[in-house]
Chain A
Amino acid sequence: MKNKRLVTAIGYLDDELIAETGSEVSKKKQKSGFAKWGTLAASLCLSLGLLYFAAWFFLPTNLFGTRDEVLRMTMCRIEDCVVSYTVEDDESRFAKLMLENQMGDVVAQHGERKFYRLKGKEDLVYLITKENDQAEPELLCFSSVSHAMTDEEYRQWVLYESGYMTDEDIAILSAKTEVTYADVFALIYGVSSADEIQKIKVEKNQVESSAVAKRVEIKTLTLKNDAEVNAVYEAFSSAVLDFSYANMYHEHRVSSYDEAYLNGEAPLSAQTERKITLFLESGREVEIKYAPTGNVIWQNQNDSLATVDDTTNATLIELFGIDTEYRDWGTNPVKETKHSDHKQAGDGCETATVPSVLPVS
C-alpha cells in the first residue's frame, strides 16, 4: 500500500484532534430552526422595507396623506398675466428631488416666494416655486391664466378675488371708519346704483360639499324686477366689512358641516349657502356668497365677511324665497316627515315640520 507511512502516521494524530472531529455535529444539521426561520423572517422584513421605501419614494406623496397642500390654491402675476395655480401634489418624492434640475429662470416673485419656469417649457402650464433658498421646490399646475390685465384690474383682482391685499389697499380701506359693500361696488366694479344691475341670479353655492348639502335641492331663482333688484342692491350695500381675522368665521354662520345641519335638526334650505350673481349692464358679473343663518356675505373664501342686520337679512330671505322651516327632503331617512300642501317659491319643497330655528325678526 502506497503512503502506508503517512496513513499510519495520521493514525497517531492527537487524541484531542480525533475526539473533537469525531464528535463534531454536522453544521448543516446544526442549523437550528430559529436560524432558518430567522433568516427567512429577516429576508421578508428587508423585502417589505425595500418595497415600502420604493413606494414612499416613487409613488405620489399624497397617497400617504403627508401633505396638506393638495387643495391649496393661490394666485400670482407673471409678466402681463395673472395666473391661479394649485400645488401639484401628485408628484413622487423622487420627482420632487429631480425638480431642482428642472428649475429655469426666475419669472416672478411674491414675497419670499420665487417662481421658476420649467426648463424647456415656454408656456405657463407648469411652474416651480421655492419659498426661499432652503425650502424644497414645489411643482405648480396652472388652473387659469388671465392675459393682459391692467394694473388697476390686477389690484382689484388681487384685493377682492384672491383675498390678498397690498399694504396700500389696506391703508385706503382703513382710512374709512366703516367699509361697506357700497364701497366695494363703487371702488371695484364702478357700480353706484341698482340701475347698473341688469338682473340677479340666486342659486345654491356649489362649494357646499357636505353629504347633506349635496342632497339639498335649491332651485335657481332669477330676479329681474327693478324693485327686487334694487332691494337686493340696497341690502348688500349696507353690509359692513369686518377686516379682522378674528371675525373671519362669523359666530352665527352655520355651515352645512355643522352637527345640527347634518343631523337634520335645522332648516336645511336656510343653512345652505347661496351664490348670488349680479349681472351688470357693463357686461361684468359680480359673484357674492350669502349665508342666510349668519347674516353674512362675502366674495372669496379668503375674504373678510360683511354683516347685514337682522331686518336686512329677513328682507333677503324673503326676496330669495328661502325656506326657514325645517325640511327633511329625504336627507335624513330616520326622521319622520309630514306632508302638507305648503310650497315654497324658491325651494319647491313639500314637507313642513316645524320648528323654525332661524332668528328672523
Chain B
Amino acid sequence: MNDLQIIELYFARDEAAIKETDAKYGKLCFQISNNILHCDPDAEECVNDTYLTVWNQIPPTRPNRFSAFLCRIVRNLSLKRYEYNTAEKRNAAALIPLSELEGVLTDDRIGDGVSDEHLGALISVFLREQKPDVRGVFVRRYFFFDAISDIAARYGFGENKVKSMLFHTRNKLKIFLQKEGITV
C-alpha cells in the first residue's frame, strides 16, 4: 500500500491505517528510536506513541512526505524519552552523536531570536549544497542517529572516512551558520 492510501485510511478513521503504517514503517521507526534510547522496550513504547500521535494529527494534517512526517515524530518522542531517562538517571549513557554537535553551537542560548524551524531550514539549505554522500552521512548520523559502523556499511566507506566526513561537515556547518548571522 502506498503512502497516499495509508493517509486516506487515517482520514477515514480506519484503524487499519496503524496496521499498515506498522507494516511499512515499523522497522524504521523502531530503528530510529532504538538508536537514541538503546533500549528495546522503551523504543517499542515510543513507536506505539508515534502511531497514536499520527492517529491524532491526521486529520487534519495531510503530510506531504508521510515517511519524513513519521520519522520526525518518532525522533522527537524518543529524544524526549531520552531526556526523561537521563534526567531520572535511568540511563546514564550519553548520546554520542549529540556530543559530536557540541562544537557547532557551543551554547544553546546562541542564536536566540531564531526559531528552531528557521535553524532547521538553514541547515537544510547547507546540506543541499553538499555532495549527496556527505549530506546522507550527516542526516543518517544526526537525524536517524545511526552508529558510525552502520553508516560505513550503508555507504561502503571505512569508519574513519565516515568520521572524517562528519568532522569536516560539522566545521563547514559552523562557518555556514556564522555567515548566516547565527553568532557563536
Residue ranges of A at the interface with B (Cβ–Cβ < 8 Å): 1-19, 21-24, 26-28, 31
Tell whether A21 pairs with B144 under 8 Å between CB atoms, given A11-B76, A12-B117. Answer: yes
Q: Measured between C-beta atoms, what is the minimum distance from B160 to chain A in Å?
A: 16
Of B13-21, B40-48, B97-105, the one touching chain A:
B97-105
Partner of B86, one of A1, A9, A21, A28: A1
Out of B102, B110, B154, name the residue touching A24 (CB < 8 Å). Answer: B154
CA distance A96 to B127 in the complex (A): 61
Contacts of A14 on B, CB cut-off 8 Å? 68, 121, 124, 128
Given contacts A12-B117, A14-B121, 9 further A-B contacts (CB under 8 A): A1-B98, A2-B99, A9-B116, A11-B116, A13-B127, A13-B143, A15-B69, A17-B139, A24-B154
Given A15-B64, A21-B139, A26-B153, A4:B69 Cβ within 8 A: no
Q: How large is the interface on B (under 10, 10 to 19, 20 to 34, 35 or more residues)?
A: 35 or more
Is B98 in contact with A3, judged by CB distance below 8 angstroms?
Answer: yes
Chain A residues with CB under 8 Å of B154's CB are 24, 26-28
Q: A1-B83, A6-B104, A17-B139 are in contact. Are A26 and B155 (CB under 8 A)?
A: yes
Grouping DSSP codes into helix (H, G, I), strand (E, B) and loop, the A interface class, with mixed when no group exceeds half, is: helix
Report the minimum CB–CB distance from B17 to chain A (whole Å).
19
Give the interface of B toward A (CB within 8 A): 28, 63-65, 67-69, 71-72, 75-76, 79, 82-83, 86, 98-99, 101-102, 104-105, 108, 110-111, 116-117, 119-121, 123-124, 127-128, 135-136, 139-140, 142-144, 153-156
Q: Collect the chain A residues with CB atoms within 8 Å of residue B120's CB.
A: 8-13
B119 touches A6 (CB 8 A): yes
Q: Which partner residue on chain A sits nearest B82 by CB separation?
A: A1
Q: Taking chain B's interface residues, is the majority helix, strand, or loop, or is none over half, making it mixed?
A: helix
How far, in angstroms, from A11 to B79 measured CA to CA in the complex? Answer: 10
B138, chain A: closest CB distance, angstroms: 9
Bound complex: CA A6 to CA B98 (Å): 9
- Asked whether, in the complex, the Cβ of B102 is within 8 Å of the Cβ of A18, the reply is no
Cβ A18 vs Cβ B64 within 8 A? no
